């Protein structure tokens, strides 16, 4: 295959590291498309739950991943809306339950395989910012700019806690911390496309860094002519 000249910025990292916000704002600053690959796994999880498919049914899950219709409806300033098989599922896919389901089904090689081409189809001019766990290692290994964004588990749990409180959802910080540690463990130790930095990724630890600074760090690495 000839090399793809459309530039890609990959931003991988564990749950709650701020990849979503950072990636969306970097994409906005560049005027590029944005791929939230975690939302695809979450959407498949929701679709599988709607269809009554269990996490112990790998073939059915892979078939579900292939046939599920997932649309992102971009709005100017806010998070995009997610439509799964014609139904608005934005709030549903953001639940902790959807996150855990996504993490569990994402460990199935056939499910990951079913989503490869869909993810690569987001690579369109003038460029793409792709957020996930394996964007720099598996989906876009030829991406010219790779980042791995992390933060301590406690910092990530606290950020998530604050977000949920602001939405009026009551949770225990301890439960969130356990959930984050369990998800890291599952995502990092699976056999296929485990969560790990690409060899050529720049690692950013955002534990005590404001989002604006993280975005700045990423943008300064990119050639200035990319900025819109
Ligand atoms: O980024 P997120 O929290 O929305 O992702 C939800 C789960 O989906 C995550 O725990 C693991 C899985 N995932 C993955 O395996 N590969 C990706 N590229 C993105 C997400």
End-to-end CA distance of the chain, in Å?
Answer: 30
Range of the domain at 28: 7-218
Q: Count of domains in the chain?
A: 1
| pLDDT (0 to 100) of residue 193 | 86
Q: What is the mean pLDDT of each run of 10 residues along the chain (228 residues)?
A: 87 92 94 95 95 93 96 80 95 86 91 96 96 96 97 94 88 94 91 92 95 96 84
Q: Is 188 within a domain?
A: yes
Q: Is there a domain that residue 226 lies in? A: no
Spacing of C-alpha 129 from chain mean position: 11
pLDDT of residue 43: 97
| Strand ranges, E, within the chain | 8-12, 33-36, 70-73, 81-84, 87-88, 128-132, 145-150, 202-205
Q: What is the CATH number of the domain that holds 140?
A: 3.40.50.300
Ligand 1 atom 9 nearest Cα: 103
The pLDDT of residue 97? 82
Enter the pTM of the model: 0.93
Asked, for residue 2, whether it belongs to a domain, the answer is no
Q: Is residue 228 part of a domain?
A: no
What is the structure's pLDDT at 140?
97
Query: Is residue 65 included in any domain, yes or no?
Result: yes
Would you say 85 and 29 are in contact if contact means Cβ atoms under 8 Å apart? no
Inter-axis angle of helices 37-51 and 96-105, to 10 degrees? 90
Let me know if residue 21 belongs to a domain. Answer: yes
pLDDT of residue 215: 97
Q: Is the CB of 18 under 6 A from ligand 1?
A: no
Cβ–ligand 1 distance for 134 under 6 Å, the answer: yes
Q: Is residue 223 part of a domain?
A: no
For the chain, the C-alpha Rg in angstroms (whole number) is 17
């Amino acid at each position: 295959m000839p090399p793809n000249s459309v530039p890609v910025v990959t931003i991988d990292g564990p749950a709650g590291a701020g990849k979503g916000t950072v990636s969306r704002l970097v994409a906005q600053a560049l005027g590029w498309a944005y791929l939230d690959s975690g939302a695809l796994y979450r959407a498949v999880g929701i679709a599988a739950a709607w269809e009554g498919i269990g996490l112990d049914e790998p073939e059915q899950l892979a078939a579900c991943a292939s046939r599920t219709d997932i649309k992102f409806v971009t709005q100017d300033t806010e998070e995009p809306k997610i439509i799964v098989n014609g139904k608005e599922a934005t709030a549903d896919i953001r639940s902790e339950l959807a996150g855990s389901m996504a993490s569990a089904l994402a460990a199935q090689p056939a499910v990951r395989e079913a989503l490869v081409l869909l993810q690569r189809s987001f690579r369109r001019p003038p460029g793409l910012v792709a957020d996930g766990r394996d964007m720099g290692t598996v989906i876009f290994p030829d991406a010219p700019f790779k980042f791995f964004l992390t933060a301590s588990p406690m910092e990530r749990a606290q950020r998530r806690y604050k977000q949920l409180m602001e939405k009026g959802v009551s949770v225990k910080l301890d439960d969130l911390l356990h959930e984050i540690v369990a998800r890291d463990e599952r995502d990092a130790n699976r056999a296929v496309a485990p969560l790990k930095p690409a060899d050529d990724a720049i690692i950013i630890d955002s534990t005590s860094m404001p989002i604006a600074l993280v975005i700045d760090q990423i943008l300064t690495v990119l050639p200035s002519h990319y900025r819109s």
